[in-house]
Amino acid sequence: MESEVNVLDLGPFEHGSTTTAPGPAQSPASPLASITSELDKLTPRFDVSADDIEIIRSPTEFYETLKAKIATAQRRIFLSTLYVGKAEDELIDTIRSALKANAQLQVSILTDYLRGTREAPDPSCASLLASLVRDFGAERVDVRLYHTPNLTGVRKAVLPKRINEGWGLQHMKLYGVDDEIIMSGANLSNDYFTNRQDRYHVFKAARVTDFFYNVYRAVADMSYRVLPSDLEASGFVIEWPSKNVGPAPLEDPKGYIASATKLLAPFTKPSPRLSTMEKASDTHVYPLLQLTPLLKPDTSTELPALTGILRKLGTPELAGSRWTFTAGYFNMTPDVRQLLLESQPSSATVVAASPWANGFYGSKGVSGMLPAAYTLLSRRFLDAVARAGLSQQIVLKEWRKGTVNTPGGWTYHAKGIWITLPGQQYPSISLVGSSNYTKRSYSLDLEANTLVVTSNADLQRRLGEEEKWLQEYATPVTRDDYAKTERRVGLHVRVAMWIVTLVGGAL
């Protein structure tokens, strides 16, 4: 799990582009401007009003907000997720009611092929979504399943369903309705609607929504289509539409990747220059994409943006910045870990799920060892903090609210980073989206994120509130805590980690 990521280690904010984007709203000499000027060379940028960004706090609020937006949709609903829970009848009925109420409404849903068909021929995500196609026709409801080009032939034939997902998934979480989009790390199932803490940012900006819709549509047009079937025990069939872009990944993986690169690479290019007559706002949204399995050469923007910002924090200009980093699955890449340490923060916090708040807690087989594996990785991180002499500046916290799979027990799935620059009280930079900042995120899965950079005082305050209340159930842990008997990691866990790496997966 700690092997190096198979991506180019480029300099700050670079993936080969030389296009110059517009200057930022801040003074060219400001620390924030030094970051935005580099981001503008890397990725598209959208100037928005700070009031157009809403931060949702709880799983329940996320679910109710999503249903409310679906119920009043006028033109389009597009949902990209790893999976829809096979028993999410209420969500599907909400979509069904919206389709009945508005004959002009179009619905498109993209999930992962491997996760979406895992239970078939028993009830599954695919069979649930096929029911919408059955009721309203493929002209109004388009259901797609992305299949990684990394899992084909003999490997696909022999690997068990629970393991094969380790070779790549559709992991983008894009919940768009008309001109608004919710960016999150949450999937669409009961636990994510009730007792699994994540992050949720609503962008009420048409240009941001349109950008992610176009990304969504491009991936959907390179995915299999689900159609209902009364003849199949599963209730559905899967086809490769003739109008799709390029060959199917299971038939011609190389040709598929070539077609995908041509279609998706434009989304990773920076914006053209703004006219000198146009005035930049105080809040910028940078869409960041990690589409490594589909881009050759890889022009993904998330990892270069993240590492570029972290390198900036380590310069004298930004010395004394503060940050909070969180991930539901604590397995950041070695490069990200090193850059966090080299940022030399005045204070910093890492928030990770406690083993008792880990979604794999109590699972059978290899997955049941993952909470202990993440504990081992957390301990190694604290060891690295100590070696760097940063134990007074960097604290590691474990998030726990009860015990998963028991009454009142929650799991923790939030991920992102908040950065507060020197002399500021609240964060001016925040990254939110689907990425877990792991080897898997940067080499195998499809990820979508938004980087918000703002000098707006109210939005900075709201980001600071989010940073604070996400730690409400987080408790500092030390190296001594990991030395306790109940936290020791057995040899079998280390062997399991080694096996996963050896066979090529990144669970």
The one-digit pLDDT tens for each residue of the chain (507 residues) are 333 323 333 345 655 443 334 444 455 448 899 999 999 999 999 999 999 999 999 999 999 999 999 999 999 999 999 999 999 999 999 999 999 999 999 999 999 999 999 999 999 999 999 999 999 999 999 999 999 999 888 778 777 776 677 789 999 999 999 999 999 999 999 999 999 999 999 999 999 999 999 999 999 999 999 999 999 999 999 999 999 999 999 999 999 999 999 999 999 999 876 555 456 789 999 999 999 999 999 999 999 999 999 999 999 999 999 999 999 888 889 999 999 999 989 999 999 999 899 877 766 766 666 777 778 888 889 999 999 999 999 999 999 999 998 999 999 999 999 999 999 999 999 999 999 998 889 999 999 999 999 999 999 999 999 999 999 999 999 988 887 766 666 666 666 666 555 444 444
- The answer to whether 290 and 445 are in contact (CB under 8 A) is yes
Give the type of residue at 13. F
Q: Residue 108 CB: number of other CB atoms within 10 A?
A: 19
Which of 41, 135, 156, 178 is catalytic? The answer is 178
User: Scanning the structure block, which residue is given the tokens 């094969």?
Assistant: 164
Distance separating alpha carbons of residues 141 and 462, to the nearest angstrom:
37
Confirm whether 178 is a catalytic residue.
Answer: yes
Task: Name the catalytic one among 15, 173, 284, 397.
Answer: 173
Strand partners, 433: 449
User: Is 135 tagged catalytic?
Assistant: no
CA-based R_g, the chain, Å:
22
CATH code at 1-42+284-507: 3.30.870.10
Domain spans of the chain, in order of start: 1-42+284-507, 46-269
What pairing do the DSSP bridges indicate for beta strands 196-197 and 411-412?
Answer: parallel
Distance CA 210, CA 53 (A): 16
Which of 420, 457, 452, 411 lies closest to 433 in space, CA to CA? 452
Beta strands 141-146 and 224-228, pairing class = antiparallel
* Helix residue ranges per DSSP H, 26-151: 31-39, 59-71, 89-101, 113-116, 125-136
> Tokens at residue 125, please?
């995500």
* Superfamily classification of domain 46-269: Endonuclease Chain A (3.30.870.10)
Residue 68 DSSP SS3: helix
3-state secondary structure of 5: coil
Phi-psi domain of 231 (left: phi exceeds 0; alpha: psi -120 through 50; beta: other): alpha
173 is catalytic: yes
Contact indicator for 375, 482 with CB cutoff of 8 Å: yes
Omega within 30 of 0 (cis) for the link into 297: yes
Residue 103 and residue 446: Cα distance in Å, rounded? 32
H helices within 137-172, ranges in order?
Answer: 153-158, 161-164
Instruction: Give Dmax (Cα) for the chain.
Output: 67
Residues with Cβ within 8 Å of 503's Cβ and at least 6 positions away in sequence, in order, are: none
From the centroid of its chain, how far is CA 403? 25
CA distance readout (Å), 478 to 285, 337, 381, 382, 391: 36, 17, 11, 7, 9
Rounded to whole angstroms, the Cα distance separating 228 from 71 reads 24
Residue carrying structure tokens 């929504």? 209
Q: Which residues pair with 79 in a beta bridge?
A: 109, 175
Residue 366 confidence (pLDDT)? 63
Write the single-letter amino acid at 331: N
If DSSP states are collapsed to H, E and C, what string results for 156-221? Answer: HHHCCHHHHHHHCCECCCEEEECCEEEEECCCECHHHHHCEECCEEEECCHHHHHHHHHHHHHHHC
Taking alpha carbons only, the member of 186, 199, 172 closest to residue 416 is 199
Angle, CA 435 vertex, CA 129 and CA 469 arms, to 5°: 100
Task: Please report the pLDDT score of residue 328 as a whole number.
Answer: 82
Q: Which amino acid is at 26?
A: Q
Q: Give the span between the Cα atoms of 348 and 340, in whole angstroms.
A: 9
The catalytically annotated residue of 171, 284, 413, 415 is 171
**Structure-token pair, residue 98:** 């919206």
Decide if 301 contacts 43 (C-beta within 8 A). Answer: yes
Are 435 and 447 in contact, with CB atoms under 8 Å apart?
yes
- Say if residues 202 and 180 touch (Cβ distance below 8 Å): yes
C-alpha torsion 112→116→120→124, nearest 10 = -170
Q: Are strands 46-48 and 283-290 parallel, antiparallel or unpaired?
A: antiparallel
Residue with tokens 């190296």, as numbered in its chain = 479
| Whether the bond into 121 is cis, omega within 30 of 0 | yes
